[in-house]
Copies of this chain bind each other. A is one copy, B any other.
Amino acid sequence: MRHFYVKSTKGMTSGEFNINDTAGSAGRLDIIARCVNAAFWISHSLRTDVVFHTILFGPPNSPIYIKIVGKKLRKVQPDERNISIFLKKAIERFEEDRVVETTPGIFASRKTFEDVIEEYKDCDFYLLGEDGSDISDCDVSENAFFILGDKEDLVDEEVAILEKHGAKKVSLGKISYLTSHCIGFLNVYLDRKN
């Protein structure tokens, strides 16, 4: 299984945003939508071996953890607007004390970053950043769990949690890329290695 986690630093935790303004009023949920596209879509199909994770840290009800499971995902189209509609449903259907499958393959619940990392502690964690070892020097495992920021990097406390779990810092080069482009590159790069 291949995991991607993207932190949504300002992603709104109420569904009361304008679906036509996800780059504004929704706290850059457009970034998360593009990452979901990059994580799952291939031509005429979805990657069934990918799980995508995000935690929305924006107001008014953070953190909301959203998990998207490729092999269960249904109905979603690859365009940003359609993916955003499903993210909005996940936020609206979130409930405080249980995991809700808000639409097929999409799950919302109350979890912290530490909860998520702890739950997947058997994976091998890779923190993306320009100061890491080049991806070509990393022997990426079958059970890789990649961690990425959105427009902002992870904070020190989150990096410390990852370090405790043996995360390796990995770089795609000296250029700083959009998070969605990192995910898209990693998917094709890993396909080509296997």
B43 contacts A177, C-beta separation under 8 Å = yes
Total copies of the chain = 2
- Can you name the residue of chain B whose Cβ is closest to the Cβ of A41? B178
Q: Does A192 contact B (CB under 8 A)?
A: yes
A188 contacts B181, C-beta separation under 8 Å = yes
State A172–B191 Cα separation when bound (angstroms).
10
A189 surroundings in chain B (CB, below 8 A): 185
A132 surroundings in chain B (CB, below 8 A): none
State A81–B83 Cα separation when bound (angstroms).
13
Chain A 1-37 interface 0/1 with B at a Cβ cutoff of 8 Å (1 = within): 0000000000000000000101100000010001001
Q: Contacts A173-B188, A173-B191, A173-B192: A38 and B79 contacting too (C-beta < 8 A)?
A: no
Q: Contacts A184-B185, A188-B181: A22 and B79 contacting too (C-beta < 8 A)?
A: yes
Shortest C-beta distance, A57 to chain B (Å), equals 20
Chain A 165-191 interface 0/1 with B at a Cβ cutoff of 8 Å (1 = within): 000000011011110110011011101
Interface residues of A (CB under 8 A from B): 20, 22-23, 30, 34, 37-38, 41-44, 77-82, 172-173, 175-178, 180-181, 184-185, 187-189, 191-192
